Structure 1
Amino acid sequence: MKQGERVDGRFRLVECLGSGGMGSAWKADDAVAGGLVVVKLKHPAYSTAGGTERREQESLRRRFEREVRLLRGLEHPHIPRYVHHGEHAGEPYLAMEYVEGRTLRRMQGTVKLAEAAALLVPLAEALLCLHTRGIVHRDVKPSNIVVRGDGRTFLIDLGIAYLLDPEATRYTEDGQTPGSHGYMAPEALRGDRAATSPATDCYALGCVAFLLLTGRRPYEGEPGGLEYHHLNSPPPRPSSLRPTLPADIDGVVHRLLAKAPEDRAGLAELRAVLAAYLPRAGDDAPSPALNPDPTLFYRGGSADAPAGGRTAGPGPADGGPDLAELAELARGGDLIALDAALDAARDYHGLRPPEIARAQLAAADRHHAAAGHTRTGCGYRHAVERALRSAGGSLHLEALIGSAECLLAAGRPGEAHALREAADRALGARRPGRGEPLAERLQALAVLLRDHGPRA
């Protein structure tokens, strides 16, 4: 392939972004939808003279087609969206959203707590989205994290993602170690089967968090080599390099780096801890200035504002959906109608209005009640908790409790325990009166969790 060539008559290649054993990636103009995309092209087949080469090419083709299936099924604000796929010159290609921005690899030094939270919370949410769909990313690292000009953070490159479905075809042989040096979990370095669990992504994100908070990767600069320490040395505490770091952040990052996958903190816990440090609308810009600035996504309302810069309005007078009607549906209307009204309201008003936050919580409660196995409710709560956080107060507290209930029912008591602790802290700060419903609900959750052990 060369610059200026058209793929499938639609995508004009502008610049080669990289090439590897599987194929190449190009920035390209989309002649149909307009704008820039990334086109991933599989390399042409090797000579068919040898059976080994044919088998390898067939494996690469299946892997490429698998990435297409993964992206087609994903819809998340921090994962590039699928655009198109097809064949060119007899080989498959995939076109996806091009994210114009800077990778974390190019952002040097430590960052302030608000900046770290603004980077890590979207990454945790993106990975939660993948994990609830049975996908492990397996290559979380700074060069696969991009911050766009408007402050939105993206997790890119699912090229070696692994399906957790036991019926899915495997494309990585046992003993291989997909991932990147300095961010690989011990089980990945050993080539264990456990390297295909979500805990592997938790470890890698812990390494990224350590880098952001301290300015260097775990074990960097220590004698003996990174691989040796990742396999054998106790997990480091970021507070050893940044003594003023709050204990809750220090603790959760330290436990993300636990050697055993079952001992690691979960993504929901990381997100719950960092939520308290996120910037809010109206906060001052970082000083010194960042370019791009990940806090802008939260400070400027871009986390909640719809495309085009429209702002929330009180009702339909400006052509927007009626929030009073949405509130009525949330109190007892048809669930399908509530979902449709929520979609329309979010598209127009964003997530900031309290009516939308309350409707999101009502819909989450009812989806959770309607799902016999709780998986749907749990995933739904993961999607709405960020919006509820912006409303604060009892709505955020109720979302934390509901998320913990869903996780416990879904067989994930460790994460449920972490969210219950976050809800405990939030409730204690409010000094609840005797008999407050949320306090009673939290106490009932604590009783259920007690059956699973002191730390679930």
Structure 2
Amino acid sequence: MVDNRFELMGGESSGGMGVVCKAIDLESGKPVAVKFLAPWDPHAGDGARVRPWTSTDLKRFHRECDIQRELSGQGVPGYVHSRLTGARPYLVTEYVDGLDLRALLTQRRPGRADAAAITVQLLRILGRVHSRGVIHRDVKPSNIMIAKDGRLFLVDFGISLPMDPQATRHTVGRTPGSLGFMAPEILQGERSPGPPADLYGAGCTIFLLFAARPVFEYGGNEFQVEYHHRLTPAPRLSTVIGDVSEAMDETVAGLLAKSPSERPTPEVAERPFLDMLPRPGSRGNPGEQYDPKRPFLEGTASAPSAPARGGPTRRPVVRRSPTSGPSRDALRSLCLGASEELRDAGPGDCARRLVDVLPVVRRRWTDADGDVLSALLLCAEAARAEGDWVSAGSRFRAVARQLRGVGPGSPSYGSQVRARLGAVESQLNEDRIPEEAPPDWCGIACEVLELGQDARPDLVALCREVGEELLACGSSTEVAELCERLAGSA
């Protein structure tokens, strides 16, 4: 029993930030869903997956309750009650008697009319959410519920954000989201994504609905999947299933565009799917459950929402290979200028211009290119200098991945060490130190010490600096001993 009002009925499920249980609201007699704040710890053992919540977790949960209250109804479960004090903060919402889309897809592959009905309902929900100034940030099949009467609901606003870039963020560390559905700009560290980020997740979901496969196959290597979503053009739906109208093919390709500005709005994106829907009053299967066509057959489907605030309507545009951007010589000149700025007085015009062209050169030449790696590392260091730890960490990790396996004899070894140290330092600016940060640093420190007199003084100094930050956060005696050895070798 919760607060002498909500009688828990079991059916517990958990996510990244909470545990959800079915309950009965004794005041109304209706079933409800009760979500308790219970952050998941990815580093914990099998016996204790939930960690104690922090003040940042509570602020984020408070924001989720406010957003749920604001959006309540029409594709978002209705708000019932919340309590943010005490040992177990909780949020109570309408209970959706149905299945999430991921579970439904494991049972059967929807026909094209069903897939179109799901698509249109989802896009209309997103249009309404965006029109209220909210970005969901985690649009994926497991966060889309289909009720027994065929209505769709978008759930779990735990990592959603207000659209206003000046609004307070309670997000730390790497930007949250789900592998295979995160927009390229989020993967690259964008802290204030706009509505197009949700449209990318919708595009991945729509592709899965029609093609019965993800946009990019997951082969056990999450970095490879992230790489493809950031830089590799998505396959055309027409090349996977055939017999697709040109308008539908263009729309799905537009939703999966790497550039946010090229993605269509929900109102535009739904148009090619409308002709696939049944007309109100058409003959259906009245007894069939989880039929997404039913709201259209009964004429109860919601109408499209007005465009999101600040979001002009535009037609779908298919991403093509970039035709503008700096030449090799211009990129190298920018890198040289940015390097001098970072060495002397901090990021300046060259560094800012380099950050602006970075997405273009990454698409054109990929992260494996030496000039792009130099630019990526400089942009990471510029973000670090400005305290943008999310962008810095994302870029440092990208460089470290590309240079994995490079040894001390390689000219790129110094860049690899700087990137690995930068990744550790970025992690330290979270509310708590990730368990992998001290061992990662210790491994780097041992490598640098083994070089002896051949170790570059700047790498020794940077390694010691990050180690001292670890010590200030209360790290182990091993870190202290290695810091002393680094000081002696300087």
TM-score of the two chains, using structure 1 as the length reference: 0.61
**AA of the residue aligned to 2:184:** P
Match of 1:82 in 2: 79
Match of 1:295 in 2: 293
Structure 1 Cα separation of the partners of residues 86 and 218 of structure 2: 48
Structure 1 Cα separation of the partners of residues 155 and 278 of structure 2: 24
Structure 1 Cα separation of the partners of residues 218 and 57 of structure 2: 37
Q: How far 1:261 moved relative to its partner? A: 1.0
Structure 1 Cα separation of the partners of residues 85 and 57 of structure 2: 16
Give the 3-state SS of the residue equivalent to 1:250 in structure 2.
helix
Aligned partner (choices 202, 209, 212) of residue 212 of structure 1: 209
Match of 1:118 in 2: 117
Residues 238, 7 of structure 1: CA spacing in aligned structure 2 closer, same or farther, 3 A cutoff? Answer: same
For each residue in 1:369-418, what CA deviation from the matched residue of structure 2 results, as whole angstroms up to 9, or x when unmatched?
xxxxxxxxxxxx844xxxxxxxxxxxxxxxxxxx7xx88xx7644x2556
Q: How far 1:29 moved relative to its partner? A: 0.8
Question: Contact between 1:59 and 1:171, CA under 8 Å: does it hold in 2?
Answer: yes
Structure 2 Cα separation of the partners of residues 13 and 81 of structure 1: 18
Question: Contact between 1:177 and 1:190, CA under 8 Å: does it hold in 2?
Answer: no
Q: How far 1:56 moved relative to its partner? A: 6.3
Match of 1:192 in 2: 190
Residues 166, 183 of structure 1: CA spacing in aligned structure 2 closer, same or farther, 3 A cutoff? Answer: closer
Question: Contact between 1:281 and 1:300, CA under 8 Å: does it hold in 2?
Answer: yes
For each residue in 1:82-117, what CA deviation from the matched residue of structure 2 results, as whole angstroms up to 9, or x when unmatched?
011125744421100010111111223643332122
Structure 2 Cα separation of the partners of residues 63 and 27 of structure 1: 22
Question: Contact between 1:24 and 1:41, CA under 8 Å: does it hold in 2?
Answer: yes
For each residue in 1:327-386, what CA deviation from the matched residue of structure 2 results, as whole angstroms up to 9, or x when unmatched?
xxxxxxxxxxxxxxxxxxxxxxxxxxxxxxxxxxxxxxxxxxxxxxxxxxxxxx844xxx
Give the 3-state SS of the residue equivalent to 1:85 in structure 2.
strand
- RMSD (Å) for aligned C-alpha atoms: 3.0
Give the 3-state SS of the residue equivalent to 2:277 in structure 1.
coil
Match of 1:433 in 2: none
Where does 1:27-42 land on structure 2 (aligned, <5 Å)? 27-42=22-37
Structure 1 Cα separation of the partners of residues 19 and 219 of structure 2: 36
Structure 1 Cα separation of the partners of residues 141 and 52 of structure 2: 33
Give the 3-state SS of the residue equivalent to 1:140 in structure 2.
coil
Structure 1 Cα separation of the partners of residues 88 and 120 of structure 2: 37
Where does 1:139-150 land on structure 2 (aligned, <5 Å)? 139-150=138-149
Residues 208, 22 of structure 1: CA spacing in aligned structure 2 closer, same or farther, 3 A cutoff? Answer: closer
**AA of the residue aligned to 1:164:** M
Deviates more, 1:21-30 or 1:142-151: 21-30
Question: Contact between 1:116 and 1:212, CA under 8 Å: does it hold in 2?
Answer: yes
Match of 1:129 in 2: 128
Structure 2 Cα separation of the partners of residues 62 and 286 of structure 1: 46
**AA of the residue aligned to 1:202:** L
Give the 3-state SS of the residue equivalent to 1:107 in structure 2.
helix
Which one scores higher on RCO, CA 8 angstroms, separation ≥ 6? Answer: 2
Give the 3-state SS of the residue equivalent to 1:26 in structure 2.
strand
Q: How far 1:155 moved relative to its partner? A: 0.8
Question: Contact between 1:255 and 1:263, CA under 8 Å: does it hold in 2?
Answer: yes
Give the 3-state SS of the residue equivalent to 2:269 in structure 1.
helix
Where does 1:49-448 land on structure 2 (aligned, <5 Å)? 57-87=54-84, 89-108=86-105, 110-173=109-172, 176-193=174-191, 196-220=193-217, 225-285=224-284, 291-303=289-301, 382-383=304-305, 412-413=311-312, 415-417=313-315
Give the 3-state SS of the residue equivalent to 2:165 in structure 1.
coil
Structure 1 Cα separation of the partners of residues 304 and 65 of structure 2: 25
Structure 2 Cα separation of the partners of residues 411 and 90 of structure 1: 40
**AA of the residue aligned to 1:59:** T
2:3 maps to 1:8: yes
Give the 3-state SS of the residue equivalent to 2:71 in structure 1.
coil
Question: Contact between 1:141 and 1:183, CA under 8 Å: does it hold in 2?
Answer: yes
Give the 3-state SS of the residue equivalent to 1:25 in structure 2.
strand
Residues 274, 90 of structure 1: CA spacing in aligned structure 2 closer, same or farther, 3 A cutoff? Answer: same
Q: How far 1:290 moved relative to its partner? A: 6.3
**AA of the residue aligned to 1:114:** A
User: Unpaired segments of 5 or more residues in structure 2?
Assistant: 42-50, 317-490
Question: Between Structure 1 and Structure 2, whose CA radius of gyration is higher?
Answer: 2
Structure 2 Cα separation of the partners of residues 162 and 102 of structure 1: 25
Residues 241, 291 of structure 1: CA spacing in aligned structure 2 closer, same or farther, 3 A cutoff? Answer: farther
Structure 2 Cα separation of the partners of residues 411 and 18 of structure 1: 37
Question: Contact between 2:264 and 2:315, CA under 8 Å: does it hold in 1?
Answer: no
**AA of the residue aligned to 1:14:** M
Give the 3-state SS of the residue equivalent to 1:67 in structure 2.
helix
Match of 2:403 in 1: none
Percent identity for Structure 1 against Structure 2: 40
Q: How far 1:193 moved relative to its partner? A: 3.1
Structure 2 Cα separation of the partners of residues 40 and 223 of structure 1: 31
Structure 2 Cα separation of the partners of residues 227 and 295 of structure 1: 34
Q: How far 1:188 moved relative to its partner? A: 1.6
**AA of the residue aligned to 1:71:** Q
Give the 3-state SS of the residue equivalent to 2:24 in structure 1.
strand
For each residue in 1:230-262, what CA deviation from the matched residue of structure 2 results, as whole angstroms up to 9, or x when unmatched?
122112111111110111111101110001111
User: Unpaired segments of 5 or more residues in structure 1?
Assistant: 1-5, 47-53, 305-380, 384-402, 419-456
Structure 1 Cα separation of the partners of residues 301 and 310 of structure 2: 31
Residues 412, 31 of structure 1: CA spacing in aligned structure 2 closer, same or farther, 3 A cutoff? Answer: closer
Residues 170, 223 of structure 1: CA spacing in aligned structure 2 closer, same or farther, 3 A cutoff? Answer: closer
Residues 98, 199 of structure 1: CA spacing in aligned structure 2 closer, same or farther, 3 A cutoff? Answer: same
